[in-house]
Homo-oligomer: A and B are copies of this chain.
Amino acid sequence: MSVTHTDVPGPAGFQITDDCPIRDVLDRVGDKWSVLIVVLLGRRTHRFSELHRAIEGISQRMLTHTLRALARDGLVSRTVHASVPPRVDYELTELGRTLLGPLTALDEWATAHRDDIRAARERHDREVPAT
């Protein structure tokens, strides 16, 4: 387990600090839209309007914001074509592509266990109807 921790005296023996790597990555792609964009761009390059159409429910504002954040972190590259009408292509960088593996693992877990979670939730809600 490589989660950042510091050995300290006491019964627990260690403590998780604020800047642990896994929280880092979740702060980055744990938001509502980032992973969807990364997964889409993992298939092929998309232009702005294509992403907008492909991702159901995203607003123009959030698409712009999320793409900017991903570009800032070096996961996505943004290419402006000087044409009329304008055209901007987004694609995964080398770094962005390396993220596909871990995301796929998480995706497969989610697909495999979503029914288990649903079942657990229903069972729980049956036992504790309303606090």
Question: Do A2 and B111 touch (CB < 8 A)?
Answer: yes
Contact check, B124 vs A71: say whether CB atoms are below 8 A apart: yes
Does B26 lie within 8 Å of A35, measured CB to CB? yes
The prevalent SS among residues of A at the interface is helix
Report copies per complex.
Answer: 2
Indicate the size class of the contact surface on chain A: 35 or more
On chain B, the residues within 8 Å of A39 by CB distance are 1, 3, 16, 22
Task: Scan residues 86-131 of chain A and give those whose CB is less than 8 A from a CB of chain B.
Answer: 95, 98-99, 101-111, 113-114, 116-117, 119-121, 123-125
Residues of A that sit less than 8 Å from B by CB:
1-3, 10-12, 14-18, 20-26, 28, 30-32, 35-36, 39-40, 42-43, 46, 50, 53-57, 71-75, 95, 98-99, 101-111, 113-114, 116-117, 119-121, 123-125
A-B contact pairs, 24 of them (CB 8 A): A3-B107, A14-B54, A15-B54, A16-B39, A16-B40, A17-B56, A18-B57, A20-B36, A22-B36, A25-B106, A25-B114, A26-B30, A72-B124, A72-B125, A73-B120, A74-B117, A74-B119, A74-B124, A75-B120, A98-B109, A101-B105, A101-B109, A102-B106, A106-B106
